[in-house]
Amino acid sequence: MTQTRQGTALITGASSGIGALYADRLARRGYDLLLVARNRERLNTLARDISTRTGRAVEVFPADLNDALSLASVETRLRQDASITLLVNNAGIGTHTPLLDSDVEQMTRMIALNVTAPMRLSYAAVPGFLARGAGAVINISSIVAVSPETLNGVYGGSKAFVLAFSQSLQHELADKGVRVQAVLPGATATDFWAIGGLPVENLPAHIVMRAEELVDAALLGFDRGEQVTIPSLHPVEKWNSYEAARRAMAGHLSSNTPAPRYRAAP
């Protein structure tokens, strides 16, 4: 049983997989929990288990974040509950279907859940964090944010938004006592793959990380103050070089004249 009181962590997509593991690990760290997902039965089972093992207060908040009214109810809770010190935007869906073979309505729902929901929930949470001088947001992105050719393009685009949004928000909040971390999982052993039509057993074993190891690594990155955490990337100098090149390029991206390579030959 944990004695330290860290405030309350609101976790979306908390009923299974990565979200459920964040719930377990954060309760062990002393957080009370507010668990958000569609499946009330799973939430109740998880809440009882975590509360029994850790002694933390665990509340369930059944909500479908693709439904405007449900999303608004979670936003209201974030605005009004001053005990919330951590928001984990984990809820999301994906697909392995090629872009042009995908149903456009499904892609629209994906954008609503993967992009609109974490954006709106962050907007709801951060002003309170700022007013209290402390708080944090953990946004679950994906390696496809920097490797869009890997999976479906709408999924990759949605996760690229999460990464860019997180980096921009952290830039704005850097000196205000509020932290933002983007976590970019690689292939992870959860039901994400089966739901998308490709059971994880069909993937090469050497690229699939256990979800427990993913969450533990991500939280270690959080403890170290990382803004972007990629647990499966071993040569960290690759990311450091990527980020250095991106930042170095930023000052050269606007000009009042086209680059010479785009000028017509005389």
Q: Which are the catalytic amino acids?
A: 155
**Structural contact between residues 229 and 218, judged by C-beta atoms closer than 8 angstroms:** yes
Q: Distance (Å, rounded) from C-alpha 196 to C-alpha 92?
A: 12
Q: What are the tokens at 169?
A: 């928000």
**Please, what is the Cα angle at 120 between 99 and 180, to 5 degrees?**
90
Q: Distance (Å, rounded) from C-alpha 2 to C-alpha 198?
A: 38
C-alpha distance from residue 252 to each of 146, 164, 244, 255, 259 (Å): 21, 19, 14, 7, 10
Q: Distance (Å, rounded) from C-alpha 215 to C-alpha 231?
A: 9
Q: Distance (Å, rounded) from C-alpha 189 to C-alpha 180?
A: 25
C-alpha distance from residue 89 to each of 55, 138, 199, 228, 257 (Å): 24, 6, 24, 14, 41
What is the phi-psi region of residue 225: left when phi exceeds 0, alpha when psi lies from -120 to 50, beta otherwise? left
Closest CA to 141 of 18, 10, 15, 16: 18
The DSSP 8-state label assigned to residue 174 in this structure reads: T
